[in-house]
Amino acid sequence: MATNRPASQTRDAIISAFNRLVLSTRRARPPVGQLLREAGVARSTLYKHFDDRDSLLLEAMNGPLSIIANATMGNGGRERLVALLDHFWEQRRSGADVLSGPFSARLMRALADLIQQRASDLDRNDAIRIAENQIALVRLWVSGETPATASELAEKMIASAQAQRTAFQLGSAASATAPASQKR
């Protein structure tokens, strides 16, 4: 099982194996033993690169979260967002706990980081508000609470993020002119 590959290649191999298993097993957190076999690494190597399976899941979600951040912050990629939403729909049973369980807070913070990188005019709190809204829109959609096509949801996500961003900018401008006694 030991290989002499650079750490970055080992990390990439683990993430790739994780993604393959998630897609083939339709489980957001495949069994560690199966992951070790698929990646061709030892347990100690896995935990050298990732604290736990949730850390690995968060790293694997970086690509999809980047697609959401790009599209919702006006950096293009609407078609990629639609394709991603189609994928989420296909994986909705296994992804439900990712979007609504304890892991969802970590997912939201990671999306907020990506949004803030793409929109320097937003402060951290506003990036968190937008990220929480985006995760909620997807969670409600995959649960069947808010039926729509992937294309319709993508439009709603983009419009919602743009509206929030505009509102936060207006709120910041109003706050800057408010007397100090009104600020908390």
Map out the domains of the chain as residue ranges: 7-53, 61-174
One-letter amino acid for residue 46 of the chain? L
The fold of 7-53 is: Arc Repressor Mutant, subunit A (1.10.10)
Rounded to whole angstroms, how far apart are CA atoms 46 and 106? 20
By C-alpha distance, which of 93, 63, 105, 96 is closest to 81?
Answer: 63
Rounded to whole angstroms, how far apart are CA atoms 59 and 77? 21
Task: Tell me what pLDDT residue 22 has.
Answer: 86
Residue 4 confidence class, pLDDT cut points 50, 70, 90: low
Task: Tell me what pLDDT residue 101 has.
Answer: 83
Task: Tell me what pLDDT residue 25 has.
Answer: 82
The string of pLDDT tens digits covering residues 10-55 is: 999 999 999 999 888 878 888 999 999 999 999 999 999 999 989 9
- With a cut of 60, say whether residue 2 has pLDDT above it: no
The string of pLDDT tens digits covering residues 98-118 is: 898 889 999 999 999 999 999
Output the CA torsion sign for 87, 92, 118, 151. Answer: positive
